[in-house]
Amino acid sequence: MNAQDPTLARADHSDEISFYEKRKGVFPRGSDGRFRRFKWAVMAFCLIVYWGTPWLRWNRGPYAPDQAVLVDLAHRRFYMFDIEIWPHEFYFVAGLLIMAGIGLFLVTSAVGRAWCGYACPQTVWTDLFQHVDRLVDGDRNAQIKLQNAPWTASKVVRRLFKWGIYLTISFLTGGAWIFYFADAPTLQHDFWTGTAAPVAYATTGVLTFTTFWLGGFMREQVCIYMCPWPRIQTAMLDERSLTVTYKHWRGEPRGSVKAAAKRVEQGLDPLGDCIDCKQCIAVCPTGIDIREGPQIGCITCALCIDACDKAMEDVGRPRGLIDYFTLEDAEKEQRGETATSLVRTIFRPRTLVYFGVWASIGVAMLFLLGQRTRLDLSVAKDRNPEYVMLSDGSVRNGFTVKLRNMEDRPRAVVVSIADLPGGTIYTDEMESQAASTALSVEVPADTTKRIRVYAVAPRGAKPTDFLFDLKASDKEGGHDVARTTFTTAEGNGQ
Amino acid sequence: MANKRVDDATGVETVGHEWDGIEELNNPLPRWWLWSFYACIAFAVGYCVVYPAIPGLHKASAGTFGWSSRGALAAEMTAADAGRAQVRAAIAATPVEALANDPKLLRAAIEGGRAAFKVNCVQCHGAGAAGAKGYPNLNDDDWLWGGDIATIHQTLQHGVRQPGDDATRMSQMPAFGRDGILTAAQVQDVVSHVRVISGQEKASGSSQRGAKIFAENCAVCHGANGEGSRAVGAPRLSDAIWLYGGDRQALTETVTNARYGVMPAWGTRLDPVTVKMLATYVHSLGGGEAAPAAAPAPAASAPAAAQ
């Protein structure tokens, strides 16, 4: 909490002292302006993405789900449009999360707490619920009046009606989440017929409750007391970060237009531009007074900029008494210098470094994505027993061979061995007499097939390294090699 | 609280306490935070009532839910047993030779056998079932009594040399040296012959003498060419696998004193389903043979050296 002028301090001087703060109601007035319209657009975009994404279809053929974005926990697959992630490729998801983290740093560095002000779910749903308040109860004054009114029947009915709308929105919000984890149309049908998995109902219930509680009632308390991100962002802001700034050097001393005119008549120093209309406080969704300076409760949603601009327009003064501004510019302007251009504020070295790191991770992941193979072979040699002597003196080694087909179609492959003199292989589903140097295997779509392979080398075989080789038989091809070891009694002290 | 004032640097009120000039700012918590703290206390009290919590002299209070970690384990074990009950019933109802017809049941039987093997069999046969001197390797293609699943099951069920079990596997090789049937020199000749037919030595005068002794004394069980006989559990002597060792010293010891390996009759120690699962597991280790019809062709003989 920072106040550049001690006279602006919030504390009162009564002798009553409390270590706990009573919640003050926040009843933001409806507003309009360029930032408000931008905020509507962001809200619409976020909600459409959130609610719409699970219903996008994406054709992956008959062997894979056709949902564009699907986190298939049951089958351990993560589908995102044309990308399918297997558990062993989870580093792609980790990479995305790291990019999201660095992306937040990047955005904070470039445009301050824009995440808090526009795109954070808490902000989006609080904004939505506050709009419900205005639709049901009326604008700020009507809301305050109803809040202070006794609990009459009509107030109870209006409250229940409003909470019913909260609950509906919350249910739609909580219910939409589960569609990311299963086929959406099927799950919706199952959900209403009571045949969906219990976890689907539990998830919906929990998220409905949290949306109802956090969006409907806790609101700005989440930003001020619960969320760690404002603290982190506060630590990341520097003198060149964009913050919503009240230009006190221009606004102070504040006073009404009438008072200002009177001062001029009296030949005293003129008042500042701030007409103390308190519209900036009235529209604030977290209930702060931006004129106290930058503070943790300010999510930089810029609604006060809209409100102040409108007030300035009404009294014929230039806009921008409250504006996105950097601390450095504020100091410059107070010294009478020109502010840095917005472009130079945003594209400064720190921002570019963040962007560089963020983009490198993205490019590296795209490269890896292009490089990854869709057909893999892994071979694990039996450790106990390492080898088995057979009655004709030949030696058998056992191997667990995994054939991973990441394509959404079955594939015919040939597994063969090389560099094992006189060696042959067979599986536990074949007769040993049918052993040869190559096996034909059909690997089902999107599956890792596990086969037991025995390799046999004739009497007198020496321990050696050798190769398992995997080749796809279809025209797309695909090839992988695994080196392993053949063990015999020789070299084992026998 | 007379010292209460507003701090200039932060614009925040102090609480009024002062210690050697150090004051405390009052940044009040929200009231709901306090309520959530009370709610946690209420939860903790309830938790202590319903779960074991309050320590006593010998044990903690039981809690109204009656929960205990032993009870939780027992419940999980019961649930696991109940979950397996259906599969076990199916295995019990299926003859051991027919288990392979149902891949799912076979899989369950093999995995169940793998677990039971680790408890009951590894002490002699080893964790990888590779055996040791005197204990057969179960991975190979050499069987004393036969390697099809029904025969393995029979061997497991009745054991080897299990006293009091009429159907137990019992082979009876004479102690040729100890009992004076053969002289020490004759024993060496037989050993030479056996090492020749198993490809370990070249023919010699000793082995030619041994061949004659072999035909008179050994061929009745081990076969004219040392191919062995599964009917009497006589190991094949012409192969590369030796239960007690194929070197001269080990063979001399075997022919002189004979070998009498034992295995418990598992039919009286384990339940029938577990024995079936063990048979399935042993059969799956890589040496399992197809069906009795296929058995006669390659004679089996085994490590069990002489008996």
Total H helices, total E strands in chain A: 17, 15
- B199: contact with A, CB 8 A cutoff: yes
In this complex, which of A2, A6, A18 lies closest to B28 when CB atoms are compared? A18
- Whether A333 and A386 map to the same domain: the answer is no
Specify whether A79 is located in the same domain as A191: yes
What is the predicted pLDDT for the residue at B114? 96
B257 neighbors B95 (Cβ within 8 angstroms): no
Pairwise CB contact (< 8 Å): A385 & B128: yes
Question: Given CB atoms, is A450 within the 8 Å cutoff of chain B?
Answer: no
- Residue ending a domain, choose from A340, A361, A392: A340
Same structural domain for residues A209 and A259?
no
Whole-number pLDDT of residue B293: 57
**Subunit contact B11:A8, Cβ cutoff 8 A:** yes
Contact A390 B15 (CB under 8 A): no
Got the DSSP string for B54-83?
S--SSS----TT---HHHHHHHHHHHHHHH
Q: Are strands A20-21 and B29-30 parallel, antiparallel or unpaired?
A: parallel
Q: Is the pLDDT of residue A11 over 60?
A: no
pLDDT at residue A204 in the model:
97
Residue B128 Cα, gap to closest chain A Cα (Å) = 5
pLDDT at A12 over 60: no
Sequence-separated (6 or more) residues with CB below 8 Å from residue B209: B186, B189, B192
Residue from A129, A135, A139, A217 nearest A173 by CA:
A129
- CB distance from A428 to chain B under 8 Å? yes
Please name the residues in contact with A437: beta carbons below 8 A apart, sequence gap of 6 or more.
A416, A417, A423, A424, A425
CATH number at residue A401: 2.60.40.10
Question: Which pLDDT value is given to residue A20?
Answer: 85
- Residues A88 and A220 grouped into a single domain: yes
State the residue range of the domain holding A463: 375-486
Same domain, A212 and A256: no
A19–B15: do the CB atoms touch at under 8 Å?
Answer: yes
| Inter-chain touch B142–A391, beta carbons under 8 Å | yes
Domain membership of residue A177 (yes or no) is yes
Do A31 and A125 reside in the same domain of the chain?
Answer: yes
Whether B301 has its CB under 8 Å from any CB of chain A: the answer is: yes
List pLDDT tens digits, range A51-66: 999 999 999 888 889 9
Whole-angstrom distance, CA of residue B300 vs CA of residue B228 = 6
Mean pLDDT of B252-268: 95
Q: How does the average pLDDT of chain A come out, rounded? A: 90
Q: Are residue A231 and residue A259 in the same domain, yes or no?
A: no
Q: What is the pLDDT of residue A494?
A: 42
pLDDT of residue A490: 73
ipTM value for the complex: 0.81
Domain tally, chain A: 3
Facing residue for B11 by CB, picked from A1, A15, A396:
A1
* pTM score, whole prediction: 0.79
**Mean pLDDT throughout B290-300?**
52
Tens of pLDDT, residues A183-231: 999 999 999 999 999 999 999 999 999 999 999 999 999 999 999 998 8
Is A437 part of any domain? yes
- Give yes or no for residue A373 having a pLDDT over 90: no
A231: number of CA atoms within 13 Å, CB side?
A: 6
CB-based burial label for A364 (10 Å; 0-12, 13-18, 19+): exposed
Q: Which two tokens stand for residue A291?
A: 């004129």
Q: Which residue of A has its CA nearest to B287?
A: A390
Chain B hits for A389, CB-CB cut-off 8 Å, are 137, 140, 240-241
Which domains are assigned to chain B?
A: 173-257 (1.10.760.10)
Does residue A441 share a domain with residue A330?
A: no
Average pLDDT score over residue span A287-296: 90
Give the integer Cα–Cα distance in Å for B46 and A118: 42
Residue from B5, B7, B31, B32 whose CB has the most chain A CBs within 10 Å, to mutate? B32
Q: Which of B8, B30, B240 faces A23 most closely, judged by CB atoms?
A: B30
- Partner-chain contact A11 B10, CB within 8 Å: no
* Whole-number pLDDT of residue A338: 85
Which of B13, B33, B284 shows the shortest C-beta gap to A11?
B13
| End residue of a domain, out of A236, A258, A291 | A236
Q: Both A397 and A297 in a single domain? A: no
Instruction: Give the three-class secondary structure for A452.
Output: strand
